[in-house]
């Protein structure tokens, strides 16, 4: 048994550590266009923050960046098939569990109980297609607002890590750089 296996736990409705103590997002929620591809209309991320989020994502074990299979201006976070033990609802398409879009926002799924915390703290909205095309996307699909500064980047990173854990089908403690401890 590896050190990672020893720390592995089955998925739980309890909040994963990275979603505990989320700060309330300040300011009004940005407008998300209801028309596909549902991009954020204001308060988009500076390019350097989006690029940093992509760099951070490459440090997650088993994750590679690829163009998304969808017709969306985004980079997909794709999990190796052997590591994709999460529910089908944890994925957007194939092994894609998150899309980091050109506006800096992130499309991902979270366990509904986890997503409630993120929504309550003002960091995301339910994906507009969930509302307008019931059944096209599972109800836990959300758009996490683009980080506007370094502090917000850290919060968005925590939410992306929760999406990763949901896709893996387990919780594991991650260090601040995204690696396993």
User: Average pLDDT over the chain, rounded to whole?
Assistant: 87
pLDDT range class, residue 93, cuts 50, 70, 90:
very high
The CA–CA distances, whole Å, from 139 to 61, 106, 110, 112, 172 equal 27, 16, 10, 8, 24
In this predicted structure, what is the pLDDT of residue 1? 32
In this predicted structure, what is the pLDDT of residue 140? 83
Question: What is the number of alpha carbons within 13 Å of residue 26 lying toward its C-beta?
Answer: 4
Burial group, residue 35, by CB count within 10 angstroms (0-12, 13-18, 19+): exposed
In this predicted structure, what is the pLDDT of residue 129? 76
Pick the CATH number of 30-171 from 1.10.10, 3.90.1150, 1.10.287, 2.60.40: 3.90.1150
**Strand order from edge to edge, sheet including 124-126:** 63-67, 74-79, 96-101, 106-109, 141-144, 124-126
Q: Does 164 score more than 50 pLDDT?
A: yes
pLDDT range class, residue 6, cuts 50, 70, 90:
very low
Q: Does 118 score more than 60 pLDDT?
A: yes
pTM to 2 decimal places: 0.86
Q: Average pLDDT of 129-149?
A: 80
Q: Does 136 score more than 80 pLDDT?
A: no
| 79 compared with 15, residue with greater pLDDT | 79
- Measured in degrees and rounded to the nearest 5, phi and psi for residue 92 equal -85, -45
The percent of residues above 90 in pLDDT, for the chain, comes to 69
Bridge partners (DSSP) of residue 66 are 76
81 alpha-carbon distance from chain centroid: 18
Dihedral of CA 94/112/9/107: which sign? Answer: positive
Q: What's the CA gap between 85 and 169, in Å, rounded?
A: 5
| Segments making up each domain of the chain, as ranges | 30-171
Instruction: Kindly report, residue by residue over 34-78, the tens digit of the pLDDT.
Output: 888 889 999 999 999 999 999 999 999 999 999 998 888 999 999
Q: Does 180 score more than 70 pLDDT?
A: no
In this predicted structure, what is the pLDDT of residue 138? 63
Q: Is the N-terminal amide bond of 45 cis, ω within 30° of 0?
A: no
Q: Name the least confident of 17-31, 60-74, 132-146.
A: 132-146
């Amino acid at each position: 048994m590896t050190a990672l296996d020893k720390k592995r736990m089955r998925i739980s409705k309890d909040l994963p550590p990275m979603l505990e103590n989320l700060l309330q997002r300040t300011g009004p929620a940005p407008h998300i266009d209801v028309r596909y591809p549902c991009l954020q209309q204001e308060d988009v991320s500076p390019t350097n923050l989006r690029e940093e989020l992509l760099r951070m994502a490459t440090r997650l074990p088993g994750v590679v960046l690829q163009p998304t299979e969808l017709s969306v201006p985004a980079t997909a976070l794709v999990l190796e098939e052997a590591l994709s033990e999460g529910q089908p609802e944890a994925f957007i398409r194939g092994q894609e569990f998150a899309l980091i879009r050109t506006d800096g926002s992130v499309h991902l799924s979270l366990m509904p109980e986890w997503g409630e915390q993120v929504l309550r703290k003002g960091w995301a909205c339910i994906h507009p297609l969930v509302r307008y095309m019931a059944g096209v996307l599972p109800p836990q699909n959300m758009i996490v607002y683009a980080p506007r500064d370094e502090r917000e980047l850290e919060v968005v990173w925590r939410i992306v890590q929760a999406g990763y854990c949901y896709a893996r089908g387990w919780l594991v403690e991650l260090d601040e750089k995204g690696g396993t401890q």
